[in-house]
């Protein structure tokens, strides 16, 4: 069987058709041309990585106001004065330090790159062929920018299936909740090969509000996704709010036999915060994480939602797919559709040319047009 693309879920999953996912642990999924989906690998995050995710969850972007203020300057000058994590200058500096063997402290890009490298190696071993292009999902932390993720990919010689200079009409980031929404079968166009028919298909659809619950050994993560339409993979992320609690992971429960009642009471309270504050009624509850199927946790989730009148009549808890690989599967689905439907072409022949260029990464679109004229 031939493989289309890999994906990475930068919260916890690494997917094929190309995709990855990052936070507590990482998984890989392979999506073959014939539609077969194989869950390939699951790798736990090391302490350095977990510390980085905790820091990013509590941080806000830096230098953003300065960079916005200087938007009139050329991008080259701004990059030289205020190089971002995705700067070619930083890429070159990392490469030089690595070649010289200098003992430098790893920054966020290196830490994320190490994570993705483990997933890349595991996936390439499984599929017996090299990877070159991926889609990465992430939790949506403001401080975890697409630039940081793309820089980590570039260190590994990988390209992204998300927005770049050749695909400006695609989303720049794939948030975990968006990937899970699609992986569970929601918002998927029947005529997805035609972007306009796809938009028309959901033009008058009701706008869902999705409650995402991810539970792992070291944390509880929840978020609210507020969609403008019910179509999956929106151009702009629909992330409305999120909550991260590193004291409510399953390991803390197992290590603390004395205060379990207090623990579960606090857990139920935390699960209710975002749905209670949401302006709209929750229509979907999606689950992720290797610990989310723990019987006591599921019981607490159902109890807390029923107290908010979010029972089966309002929002059904979705467990149709393995929650550990849910985001990775969504990333894989995105990457497959992204490869089949280039974002900035309308005619069939133009789209075929763009698919060829994206796969070979050689000629520019203008060069392909000139060849066609000749």
pLDDT in tens, 32-45: 666 677 777 777 77
pLDDT-derived band of residue 225, with 50, 70 and 90 as boundaries? very high
Q: For residue 224, what pLDDT is reported?
A: 94
Q: Is the pLDDT of residue 293 over 80?
A: yes
Element (H, E) at 26: strand 25-31
Q: Read off the tokens for 112.
A: 């994320």
In angstroms, the CA 119 to CA 42 distance is 8
Element (H, E) at 150: helix 146-155
Residue pair 9/335 in contact by the 8 Å Cβ criterion: no
Domains and CATH numbers, the chain: 6-170 (no CATH), 176-327 (3.30.420.40), 344-374 (no CATH)
In angstroms, the CA 222 to CA 277 distance is 13
Pick the closest to residue 29 from 115, 116, 123, 133 (CA basis): 123
| φ, ψ at 157 (rounded to 5°) | 75, 25
Q: Is the pLDDT of residue 269 over 70?
A: yes
Residue pair 30/12 in contact by the 8 Å Cβ criterion: no
DSSP state string for 223-248:
EEEE-SSS-SS-SS--EEEEEEETTS
Q: For residue 178, what pLDDT is reported?
A: 93
Distances (CA, A) of 73 to 68, 230, 274: 10, 39, 40
CB atoms within 10 A of CB 174: 36
Q: For residue 255, what pLDDT is reported?
A: 73
Q: For residue 155, what pLDDT is reported?
A: 83
Residue pair 79/86 in contact by the 8 Å Cβ criterion: no
What pairing do the DSSP bridges indicate for beta strands 159-160 and 133-138? parallel
Average pLDDT, whole number, for the chain?
75
């Amino acid at each position: 069987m031939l493989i289309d693309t890999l994906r990475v879920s930068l919260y916890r999953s690494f997917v094929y058709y190309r995709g990855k996912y990052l936070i507590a642990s990482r998984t890989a999924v392979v999506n073959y041309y014939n539609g077969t989906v194989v869950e390939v690998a699951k790798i736990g995050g090391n302490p350095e990585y977990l510390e980085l995710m905790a820091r990013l969850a509590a941080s806000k972007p830096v230098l953003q106001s300065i960079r916005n203020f200087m938007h009139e300057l050329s991008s080259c000058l701004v990059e030289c004065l205020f190089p971002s994590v995705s700067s070619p200058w930083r890429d070159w500096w990392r490469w030089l330090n690595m070649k010289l063997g200098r003992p430098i402290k790893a920054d966020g890009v290196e830490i994320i790159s190490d994570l993705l490298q483990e997933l890349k190696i595991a996936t390439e071993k499984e599929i017996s062929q090299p990877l070159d292009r991926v889609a990465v999902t992430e939790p949506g932390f403001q401080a975890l920018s697409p630039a940081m993720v793309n820089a980590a990919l570039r260190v590994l010689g990988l390209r992204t299936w998300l927005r770049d200079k050749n695909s400006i009409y695609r989303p720049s980031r794939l948030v975990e909740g968006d990937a899970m929404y699609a992986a569970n079968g929601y918002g998927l166009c029947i005529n997805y090969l035609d972007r306009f028919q796809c938009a028309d298909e959901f033009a008058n659809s009701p706008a869902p509000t999705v409650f995402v619950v991810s539970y792992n050994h070291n944390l509880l993560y929840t978020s609210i996704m507020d969609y403008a339409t019910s179509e999956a993979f929106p151009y702009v992320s629909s992330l409305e709010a999120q909550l991260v609690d590193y004291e409510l992971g399953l390991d803390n429960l197992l290590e603390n036999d004395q205060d379990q009642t207090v623990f579960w009471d606090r857990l139920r309270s935390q699960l209710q915060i975002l749905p209670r504050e949401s302006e709209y009624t929750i229509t979907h509850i999606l689950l992720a994480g290797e610990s989310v199927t723990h019987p006591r946790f599921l019981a607490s989730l159902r109890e807390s939602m029923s107290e908010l009148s979010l029972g089966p009549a309002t929002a059904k808890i979705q467990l149709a797919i393995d929650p550990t690989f849910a985001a990775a599967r969504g990333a894989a689905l995105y990457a497959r559709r992204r490869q089949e439907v280039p974002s900035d072409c309308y005619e069939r022949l133009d789209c075929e040319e763009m698919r060829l260029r994206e796969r070979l990464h050689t000629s520019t679109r203008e060069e392909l047009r000139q060849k066609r004229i000749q």
